[in-house]
Amino acid sequence: MQPEFHEATAADYPSYAVLFPQLAAGDPLPSLAHWLEDFAPTTFLAAVEGEVVGYAYYQLLSGVGYVRNVVVAPSQQRKGYGRALMAELARRFRTGGANAWCLNVKPENAAAIGLYRAVGMSRAYESVILRLDWDAVARLPPVPGIAAREVRPDEDELVRSAFELVPGQLAEVRRHANRRVLGLFEAASPCGVAALNLFVGHGVMGSFPFRVVRPELARNLLDAMRAYATPEHLSAQVVIDDDPPLAGLLLGAGAESRMRIEHFRGQLPGH
Ligand SMILES: CC(C)(COP(=O)(O)OP(=O)(O)OC[C@H]1O[C@@H](n2cnc3c(N)ncnc32)[C@H](O)[C@@H]1OP(=O)(O)O)[C@@H](O)C(=O)NCCC(=O)NCCS
């Protein structure tokens, strides 16, 4: 049976709160207020005979749809609802002018990877999520003379192309009151970018993405993150994309490896 889709409202929060932990992403459940502000506006739920069976949360970027969460209730899996959620996402992305889509998934999540391959996506690269307390940051040598500052919206394209970011990703970050885009510049050239998430859910300050052109610039970018830290931010958690030398440097300074993730992408079906 095909599910019916509806936009998320506050009344759906209990369903979301039950389904969200299925992601096992290590993130705390957002509060109702946080969910309504940051996630619900681009979340829809799938229901069958009035019962919620799953949900999807997405971001429509510039020409690219970013699938952020796809969850089907454990008792409702293998009935085609995951595929139906992906089809609805593809429809929304196409309507919004996108021709490609992407997402992140844990390499051991065979069900999700099976679903994404079934809709034509393929693996692009691997990332690792690392957590460093501020003492570990202090063990990294800084590079003198290079400090970070907030990236201006008119610099987004320069930074995006330097790091091959997903088009529209930085603009999406800037739409959220608790997020910041920081850049490192050498002369006028971008040499680092961090998209901070200042939300204090589990004591960490997150950055996704976190990119530098040379691993040794990581300290400068982490110092810039730390300038935004409150006493509740006990450590930094950064997503390192496809950059084993940078991950190695941070692990050597005492970073803890939290999770590996794979980036999948593809053309939207019908393109
Ligand atoms: C991933 C998930 C959404 C799939 O939902 P679902 O409703 O069970 O998926 P569907 O029934 O639509 O299956 C579609 C296809 O996905 C693949 N698939 C689904 N479950 C699978 C499994 N356990 N193993 C291998 N492939 C699987 C198959 O190709 C399947 O097609 P088929 O049934 O014709 O063989 C669901 O397992 C889930 O919610 N998991 C927990 C949350 C999660 O990990 N979400 C993804 C985060 S990135």
* Last residue within a domain, chosen from 98, 113, 142: 98
The alpha carbon of 66 is separated from its chain's Cα centroid by a whole number of angstroms, namely: 9
Residues 37 and 141 in one domain: no
pLDDT of residue 215: 97
What the block records as the tokens of 169 is 């990703």
- 202 pLDDT more than 80: no
* Residue in the block written with tokens 């998209």: 195
* Last residue within a domain, chosen from 79, 98, 117: 98
* Secondary structure of 59-123 in HEC code, one letter for each residue: EECCCEEEEEEEEECHHHCCCCHHHHHHHHHHHHHHHCCCCEEEEEECCCCHHHHHHHHHCCCEE
Atom 4, ligand 1: residue with shortest CA distance: 82
Residues 152 and 251 in one domain: yes
Q: What is the pLDDT of residues 236-265, one digit of tens each?
A: 999 999 999 999 999 999 999 999 999 999
Residues 146 and 260 in one domain: yes
Residues 79 and 164 in one domain: no
Residues 74 and 164 in one domain: no
How many folded domains does the chain comprise? 2
* Last residue within a domain, chosen from 80, 98, 116: 98
**What is the extent of the structural domain holding 168?**
127-264
Q: What is the pLDDT of residues 12-63, one digit of tens each?
A: 999 999 999 999 988 889 999 999 999 999 999 999 999 999 999 999 999 9
Per the domain annotation, does 116 fall within a domain? Answer: no
Mean pLDDT of 112-141: 97
Residues 143 and 185 in one domain: yes
Q: What is the pTM of this model?
A: 0.93
State in Å: Cα 113 to ligand 1 middle: 8
State in Å: Cα 237 to ligand 1 middle: 28
pLDDT band at residue 222, thresholds of 50, 70 and 90?
very high
Tell me if 19 sits within 8 A of 73, measured CB to CB: yes
CB within 6 Å of ligand 1 — which residues? 22-23, 70-72, 77-83, 105, 109-112, 114-115, 118
Task: Tell me which of 84-88, 141-145, 211-215 is least confident.
Answer: 141-145
CATH number at 87 reads 3.40.630.30
- 271 pLDDT more than 70: no
**Ligand 1 pocket: which of 18, 72, 86, 129 to mutate (most atoms <8 Å of CB)?**
72
Mean pLDDT of 141-169: 94
- 201 pLDDT more than 80: no
Per the domain annotation, does 177 fall within a domain? Answer: yes
**Ligand 1 pocket: which of 78, 106, 109, 123 to mutate (most atoms <8 Å of CB)?**
78
**Ligand 1 pocket: which of 1, 68, 77 to mutate (most atoms <8 Å of CB)?**
77
Residues 149 and 250 in one domain: yes
Amino acid in the structure at residue 225: M
